[in-house]
Amino acid sequence: MHVIVDSSPGTSPGPELVQLLTPEGERVEHPEYSIELSPQEYRGLYRDLVLVRRVDAEAVALQRQGELGIWASLLGQEAAQVGAGRAMGPNDYAFPTYREHGVAWCRDVDPLNLLGLFRGVNHGGWDPNEHNFHLYTIVIGAQTLHAVGYAMGMQRDGSGAAVLAFFGDGATSQGDVNEAFNFAGVYNAPVVFFCQNNQWAISEPLERQTRAPLYRRASGFGFPGVRVDGNDVLACLAVTREALDYAREGNGPILIEAFTYRMGAHTTSDDPSRYRLQSELEAWKLKDPIERYKRFLIKNSLADSDFFAEVDAESERLARHMRDGCRALPDPEPLSLFDHVYAEGHPLVDEERAQFAAYLSADVDATAERGEG
């Protein structure tokens, strides 16, 4: 595995950034990484990018209409997530944060399941083992520890697969992430740490989080790191494929820093205009991952107008599916809150369930006495 070492500051992509597609949509070569796909596979990546962005836009709209409590947008990070998600093998396992809607798409998780979580009617709604995609983790960085533990288990089972752990630049300041790095390095765990450096930890810019490029953190824990253009889906796919191969072959962990940008708000509760310049956002819009990839397809005659029209039509159908499905999601039975806390019974959870059942029953009785039932 190629190890990149440079001294560029944390906010600059640096000269060693792995890139296979320029912001203008020009295909370029890299001495360490390459990728060749069939025309159908190239078109498939575009379809992924467009539909994932539509999922995100529709969820934001539903939140504004009061149908969701909150939503964490991935706007601008589609290429990083689709590239990483499509690099996974069928037996690899992903541990997401709460923003990996693109990876969820690649693992065939119905977007309605994501909406259910943010609507507050389920805990995620999908079977992690069916999709090899764990439930969303809200606690910043905690899933990296879960990922390393899972990878160590896979290593001992001789599964031959690898784990992909997602987190953001802000999470690299958490102790959990550094502990995960250390455990993974010491135990040679087959895990790929995939950091989406979107330049902002809510309102904290990257230069206030670190004085060195994030991918160089890996060297301190004894494993390689690489920085990739996170708005270049081909580069993200190529780098993540090689990293997963590296981990599966028993070489231990590796850190990928996908250098990208959060074009939207941190969540729908955030207003980024209060802390970042509009000019910065406009500069990154010129590097939009979907526009650059569309230009690449057109320049190389890999897609025609009929294809783009069909993707747009599919996007509309997906949006209707999300709108209608979200509003039809049933409210859960209150006591189901306790059903999946543990795989088997637990005394404390059983006690809490009984107390809550008694509370609900008392409330029903009080309502009946008031004649309101």
> Catalytic site residues?
262, 266, 275
pLDDT confidence bin for 345, thresholds 50/70/90: confident
pLDDT per residue as tens digits for the range 186-238: 999 999 999 999 999 999 999 999 989 999 999 999 999 999 999 999 999 99
Band (pLDDT 50/70/90 cuts) for residue 365 is confident
Q: Which residue has the higher pLDDT, 7 or 307?
A: 307
Q: What band does 343 get if pLDDT is binned at 50, 70 and 90?
A: confident
- Enter the tokens of residue 38: 């069939």
Q: What is the pLDDT of residue 6?
A: 45
DSSP annotation of 132: T
pLDDT higher than 60, residue 292 = yes
Averaged pLDDT, 72-79: 98
- Tokens for 138? 């809200």
d(CA 269, CA 74): 14
In sequence order, what DSSP letters do the residues of 130-149 get, joined into one string? HHTBPPP--STTHHHHHHHH
Quick check: helix, strand or coil at residue 106?
Answer: helix
The reported pTM is 0.91
CA angle 131, 225, 193 (to 5 degrees): 25
The pLDDT, as a whole number, for residue 8 is 45
**What pLDDT shows up at residue 5?**
43
Alpha carbon distance 231, 252 (integer Å): 26
Q: What is the pLDDT of residue 15?
A: 62
CA nearest to 238, candidates 23, 41, 9: 41
pLDDT for res 373:
54
> Is the confidence at residue 125, as pLDDT, over 90?
no
pLDDT value, residue 9: 42
